[in-house]
Structure formats: structure tokens, C-alpha cells
Amino acid sequence: MKKFKYSARDVKGKIVSGEIEARDVESVTDILHDRGLIVVKVKEGMGIDFERLAEINIGGVPMKEKVIFMRQMSTMVGAGLPLTRALEIMVQQAGNPLFKRVLKEVLSSVQSGKALSDSFRAQEEIYDEVTLNLIEAGEESGNLEAILERLATELEDRNSLSSKLKSAMIYPIIILVVIVAVMVLMMTVLIPSMATIYGDFGAELPWITQFLMNMSTFFLKYWWAILVVIAVLIIGGKWYLDSEKGKRNWDKLVLKIPVVGGIITKMQLSQFTRILALLLGSGLSIIKALELTSSSLNNSMFKDTVAEAKAEVEKGGTLALPIARSEYFPLLVSSMIAVGEETGEIDSVLTKVSQYYKEEVDVATTNMSSILEPVFLIIMGLAVGFIALGVYMPMFQLSSAIG
């Protein structure tokens, strides 16, 4: 999007001027015509756009901003405020520069007659396709207020699950970093000093000490090669994981990792049931709901299962059967889906299952740190103990020889 300066006449013939963001001059002309203005001159802005520089932020629009937008829009639409007026208020109070610009463009698009969902689709990836389809369903059904409120809750739940996993991993990662730092310090400072001292005695060293000294020598001499190997592994690993085959293999492997695999499984089950319930409850067809739910899942194993279930439902089959055949979905999920299909209340049943797995994730992430903490501490203790043994064994031998 580019910034243009324009001059135009309003219905009274008065000259008005300002700035507007659009793809090209033709787009600017169309927008101004939609506002009832007669274009006099349009000129592309020049120089450094400091507002754009302020929009540069890592991670895009914060989730908190998106949730606030949904909740406040729901309140204003429910109070009878016109959509354009509600968007004007949100533009004024938006704290994130990038989000403020996006909302300005959305407001301009809505003022020209486009739907809110289509206006957001024309922007950068602020909201995903699930969210946009739900907004579209709310606009078509005239129930936008309720949909926006549900979306705010959905975004909060999604962010909460992701934050819980990240929080649970922080402590183990810190311990791992400490282990690596201690090892590097010993290899570069302690063991070289030890090698100098013991070398003066000319005595035969224990194999542990000799092994550590050889490792230290290799580390100091070929540190650049070690960094190159690490860089190649990181780049190669990223390239492999970005490929379809690599991602599938990784997604399959990660589910088998003790503790972590169980948490990821529960997170995917919670997301599957929560989003499918939300989409079905908003009036979308089960085929469209399954398609969007599949695209929203992160793990390929769950994504493929839902895609297969969609194909079977399209042929007239039930949803519960393909879910029951999957090794990744527990019997509880397929059984509850079967109950929902029989009673015609599948969205409410899925909501209850989602709540159950959300609580399971809460418990699992809370226990994760307490489980991994002693494991990492044991690893750290063994590493430090091994090095300490290599350092002090020659001292004991020399003391015995002198004694």
C-alpha cells in the first residue's frame, strides 16, 4: 500500500485535501468517488514515512489488541452504533501503530460499501480465515454482536493455551542454557588451566582427565568448525522442517515425546473441539466447518485426520466414525461426537469436550515443570560431577604418590 495526497471538491464545491493509503491512483479515485468527492488532483507521497517506521514490530499485532477490538466492537454493535462509527472509535483508541493503520483502511473499505469480513481480508494477515469466516457468518445472519463476543473468547482461549506451553518450557530452557554455559566455561577456562598444572608433573593421568583435556583442546582449536557444524545443522534442520515431508515427520515424532507429546495432543484436541463447536454454532455447514477447523490445526497428524473426516462426511458418512479410526483421537472424542450427532446438539457437546481438554492442558502444563526440573537437574549434576571427577582424580593420585 502507498500513501497519496489528494485534492477534491465536495458536494458544495468546497476544496478538501488530505492523505489516503491505497494500491494505486485508480484505487484512490475510486475511494474518493465512493465518498461523494470529485477528484481534482492525486499525487503519490514522497520521502520517509515515519508512521510506517513506527509500525515495525516483531510478532505483528499483539493478541491483546485483537481481543480488545472484538469485545469493544461487540459492545458498540450491540448498543446499536453504526458499524462505521464503531470503527472510527476503534481507530482513535488503537494503541498499536500497525493495527491503527489497518483499522483506518478497514474503515475506509466499509464506508465504500464493503463488508467487514471482506475489508479485513484485503489487509495483511491480522485475523485468520476461521475468524474472517465467523465474522462473515455474523454479518449474514445479523448476529454480528454475539459472533464478535464469541471470537474474543476464542482468541483469548487460543492465546492462553499457547502461553501455558511456553511458560512451562521457560524453566527447563533456562536450566539447559545454564548447563551449556557451565560446560563451555569449564572447557575454555578450567580444564586448560588444569592441563597446564598437571603437565608439569609429567605423571600418567586417569582416562577421565585425559578425555576432558582432549575435548578441551579440540574445542579451543576447532571452535570455528563447531560453530559451522551447528549453523549447518540449524539451517538444514529448518529447511527440512519447512518441507512438507519434514513437517509431517516432525509432527509425528513430537507426539511420541514423553510429557510434551501428551500436552500437544491435548492442545490439538481442545482446539479441534472448540473451533468446530464455534463454527457449527455460528451456522456454518459441517463441511465448511471441518475444512476451516483442519486448516487451523498445527499438527499434521490431526490436520490430516480432520481432512479425511471431511471427505467422508461429504460422501454421506458420519463424523464420529473417521475420528474413531484415528490413533490420535481418544475414544472420548469420537463417542461424544456420536452422541452429538444423534441428539442434533453436536456444537454444545463439543463445547463441553473442549472445556474438559482445556482443563487437562492446565493441569499438564502445571505438572510439566515439576517433572522436567529434576530431570534437567540430574543431567546438570552428572555433567558437573563428571568434570569434577576428572579434575580431582589426579590430585588424589598425586597425594597418594607423595604420601
Q: What is the DSSP annotation of 110-145? A: HHTT--HHHHHHTSSSSS-HHHHHHHHHHHHHT-HH
Spell out the domains of the chain, with CATH numbers in brackets.
2-47 (3.10.20), 164-403 (1.20.81.30)
Reported confidence tier of residue 58, pLDDT bands at 50, 70, 90: very low
pLDDT given at position 181: 82
Average pLDDT over every residue of 114-127: 81
Reported confidence tier of residue 202, pLDDT bands at 50, 70, 90: low
Q: Report d(CA 335, CA 318) in Å as an integer.
A: 12
Q: Report d(CA 384, CA 178) in Å as an integer.
A: 11
Which residue do the cell numbers 460422501 mark? 315
- CB burial class (10 A; 0-12, 13-18, 19+) of residue 139? middle
- CB burial class (10 A; 0-12, 13-18, 19+) of residue 166? exposed
Per residue in 347-381, pLDDT tens? 889 989 988 988 888 888 777 777 777 777 787 78
pLDDT given at position 49: 47
Alpha-carbon distances, residue 33 vs 9, 28, 138, 178, 298 (angstroms) = 10, 9, 29, 63, 43
Reported confidence tier of residue 47, pLDDT bands at 50, 70, 90: very low
pLDDT given at position 2: 66
Q: In sequence order, what are the beta bridge partners of 39?
A: 8
Instruction: List helix spans (H) across 243-259.
Output: 244-254
Average pLDDT over every residue of 184-206: 72
| pLDDT mean across residues, the chain | 80
Per residue in 232-246, pLDDT tens? 999 998 898 888 888
Please say if the pLDDT value at position 5 is more than 80: no
Per residue in 244-296, pLDDT tens? 888 889 999 988 888 788 888 988 998 899 888 888 888 888 898 898 888 88
